[in-house]
A = this chain, B = another copy of it.
Amino acid sequence: MVQAYILIQTEVGKAADVAQTIDKIPGVTQADDVTGPYDVIVKAEAPNMDDLGRLVVARIQVVTGITRTLTCPIVHL
């Protein structure tokens, strides 16, 4: 299992809608509105790195109002 934080920038005024929509996507375990350089911070998980990439591209990036996502995979050092 691979986990990651996904730092999301949205169009102005869309942060709340984006967080609510993402929160219902299977594989997403947290979704919070934040202030600062990012608008929404999400925690998600998938069986492996490629599936995580597909979750981000096929399920999260299609949410209306998202302009950039930055995926930060969790590593166990």
Q: Would you give 22 A-B contacts (Cβ < 8 Å), ordered by A?
A: A3-B32, A5-B5, A12-B69, A13-B57, A13-B61, A33-B74, A33-B76, A34-B72, A35-B52, A35-B56, A35-B71, A36-B37, A36-B72, A37-B37, A37-B72, A38-B72, A41-B72, A48-B48, A49-B75, A54-B75, A57-B77, A73-B73
Q: Are A32 and B5 closer than 8 Å at their CB atoms?
A: yes
Number of interface residues of A (CB under 8 A): 41
Copy number of this protein in the oligomer?
Answer: 8
- Which residue in chain B gives the minimum CB-CB distance to A67? B12
Of the candidates B50, B68, B69, the one whose C-beta lies within 8 Å of that of A75 is B50
Kindly name the residue among A32, A71, A75 whose own CB sees the greatest number of chain B CB atoms within 10 A: A75
